[in-house]
A = this chain, B = another copy of it.
Amino acid sequence: MHNYHDQEFFEKYSVRTDLALEAHQVVTEHQGPPLPGVKVSTVEKDKAVISRVIVENEVGARMIGKAPGRYSTIESPALREHNREMHEELARYLAEELDWFIQDTQLGPEEPILVVGLGNWNATPDALGPRVVQNLMVTRHLLGMTPPELRRGLRPVAAISPGVLGLTGIETGEIIMGVTERIGAKAVICIDALASRSVERLCSTIQISDTGIHPGAGVGNRRQAINQETLGIPVIAIGVPTVVHATTIVADAMDLLAGQRPQSAVEERAPQRTTFHVDPRTLMSTPSQQGIESTPPGLPHLSGPEKHQLIREVLAPYMGTMIVTPKEIDVLIDEVTDVVAGALNIVFHEGVDYDEVFQYLT
């Protein structure tokens, strides 16, 4: 179901992840940086770590199992807190990252954008997209009636929540194609809930990328890609992990049980992360780590791919569609919605008083 980059990567490392940053970490733990064809830069903010990964070519793509393109990740446990000031700051960070992507599309300031809230309104962990759309300020219908000289540089923004295949009978990609063609959108921004590899990332990480949505990614079951190739216009995807698959958590748990690396060794490898309570290391133990650790007596000694295959085969019948999610997911989704909708409103309408917009345009 995944694309060929993903598949090759999985066969090599037995890890599936929607996050380029996680994939990059897996590989560098194996063979050490730098990776050819992949550029990574990280900035630490007061309450967030922002990393940009650029996959420059096919070499890099095969290396980390992600299509060539740009990926930006904002990691912040503060996303989970109910703290308005913090959310406003995170929304500004996200807006800046989005702006990096939008600049790159070379969209004119008045060209129309379609925001797409992927997912199922009625399944809480999958409802992020529709809830963001619900809180978005849209302008396309106001600007449509306005002569260009009065638009004052405003961008027409439209938004839809196309629903999920099981409730519509229509591939999400088909609906988006139909609508973008009809309204002449020049770029698409998709919001999606992702399945993560790690409980620590749930509602604490946001990834933006320009490589679109892959079939089989996300919480839902999309079978069709939503990207520049299929739509003919730039697609920016904003994804937030909200669930972990039950089989994933078992595999990670077994790695954890199979032996933790000594803390000191960890500190040396990833010193920049010490201020951060989400520690991806503990959640990403990989075959090489298992190899170098002494296995506690009686615990398994399978190597990664074998182990993961075993887990999947034995557990799938029992845990197939089970998801792992925080008890308080209903509240967490609202917090993240706030930040993502806030960032989009800043990006689209920065410097414009929305009341003023309405005053002139309605």
Contacts and interface: CB of A to CB of B under 8 A. Distances in A.
Contacts of A89: none
Contact of A178 (B81, B179, B260, B324): B179
Contacts of A183: 170, 174, 178
Interface in A162-193: 162-163, 165-171, 174-175, 177-183
Interface in A107-163: 121-124, 126, 133-134, 136, 138-142, 156-163
A327 interface: yes
Task: State which size class the interface on A falls in.
Answer: 35 or more
A357 interface: no
**Chain copies in the assembled complex:** 4
A256 B169 contact: no
Nearest to A328: B123
Interface string A243-280: 01010011011101100100000000000000000000
Contacts of A159: 167-169
B160 A162 contact: yes
Contacts of A136: 167
A56 interface: no
Interface string A268-304: 0000000000000011000000000000001111100
Given A169-B159, A249-B250, A326 B322 contact: yes
Contacts of A140: 169-170
A311 interface: yes
Interface in A5-36: none
Contacts of A83: 355
B298 A330 contact: no
A321 interface: yes
A179 B169 contact: no
A311 B253 contact: yes
Interface stretch (A43-51, A59-67, A233-241, A312-320): A312-320
A99 interface: no
A160 B156 contact: no
Contacts of A301: 298
Contacts of A315: 253, 256-257
Given A257-B310, A300-B299, A323 B326 contact: yes
A252 B319 CA distance: 11
Nearest to A123: B330
Quick one: which of A121, A170, A181 has the most chain B CB within 10 A?
A: A170
A139 B165 CA distance: 10
Nearest to A323: B327
Contacts of A84: 84
Given A169-B141, A170-B183, A178-B181, A256 B318 contact: yes
Contact of A168 (B138, B169, B250): B138
B314 A321 contact: no
Contacts of A166: 138, 141
Nearest to A319: B199
A359 to B, nearest CB: 13
Interface in A217-248: 219, 244, 246
8 contacts: A122-B330, A140-B169, A175-B179, A178-B178, A199-B318, A246-B324, A257-B314, A325-B325
Given A174-B182, A177-B178, A323-B324, 13 more contacts: A81-B355, A121-B121, A123-B328, A133-B163, A136-B167, A138-B169, A139-B169, A156-B169, A179-B179, A246-B249, A249-B249, A252-B318, A256-B314
